[in-house]
Amino acid sequence: MLGYDRNRLIRHTIAAAFVIVVVGLFARQQLARSGGDLPGRHALGPLDTLSVEVGGPAPDFVLMARGEVPPVQLSAYRGRVVVLNFWASWCGPCREEMPEFQREYASHAAGQGPVILAVNVLALDARAPAEAFINEMGVTFPVAFDETGEVAERYRVRGLPSTFFIDPEGVVRRATYGPVFGNILAEGIAAAEARSTAS
């Protein structure tokens, strides 16, 4: 009985977190459409007007990166498969899937294999817990911070985590809304690689 209550509490917590994310992104979108100014908003670089679709181009963006490195621009990775993951420190499924990404990243020599790019939706999180999460998880792949939530909005992120598999030509080949477990990561990478070799 105790296990049932715990599982039920976990399901309700995940559902509540999902609703909070969706409502937050919707409110931000409405505010942006109405011309409202968002606190702390600043442009770091190009964020095109595209909205993501599987089979369509991945919207480009420039975001501040973790540590003393230049900002991250998605299009700088053109020519390689990119696994683009949106996450937050309070997200339980994000915590569960992060080791999958780290293992994939660590299994390749530097500059080889797919690029793993984790984007923290800082508009729904805070920098200190996000940094603590990264350190605790032992993340060594690139991490960027979406301070305004604009990039997550452009990618139609409906909840966290969300992951997009982008081929070397910059085309989104698969999208996963929810945690990446089991074969999902390998299959997404394979789909992005297959499309790039077929053209």
Q: What is the pLDDT of residue 7?
A: 65
The CATH number for 131's domain is 3.40.30.10
pLDDT number for residue 59: 95
- Domain-located, residue 30: no
pLDDT the model gives residue 149: 96
35 inside domain: no
- Is there a domain that residue 104 lies in? yes
115 within a domain of the structure (yes/no): yes
- Is the separation of the CB atoms in 149 and 160 below 8 Å? no
Q: Which domain holds residue 176?
A: 43-198
Mean pLDDT per 10-residue interval, the chain, length 199 residues:
60 56 45 37 38 90 89 96 98 96 91 93 96 96 96 94 97 95 95 76
The pLDDT score that the predictor gives to residue 110 is 77
Q: Is residue 10 part of a domain?
A: no
CA distance 53 to 57: 7
Domain count, the chain: 1
Q: Is residue 113 part of a domain?
A: yes
Joined tokens for residue 102: 């780290």
28 part of a folded domain: no
In a domain, 8, yes or no: no
Q: Give Cα 72 to chain centroid, integer Å.
A: 13
The residue whose two tokens read 């989104």 is 172
Q: In what order do the strands lie in the sheet with 82-87?
A: 72-73, 62-65, 143-145, 115-120, 82-87, 162-166, 172-177
Structure confidence at residue 28 (pLDDT): 46
The encoded tokens of residue 169 equal 């030509």
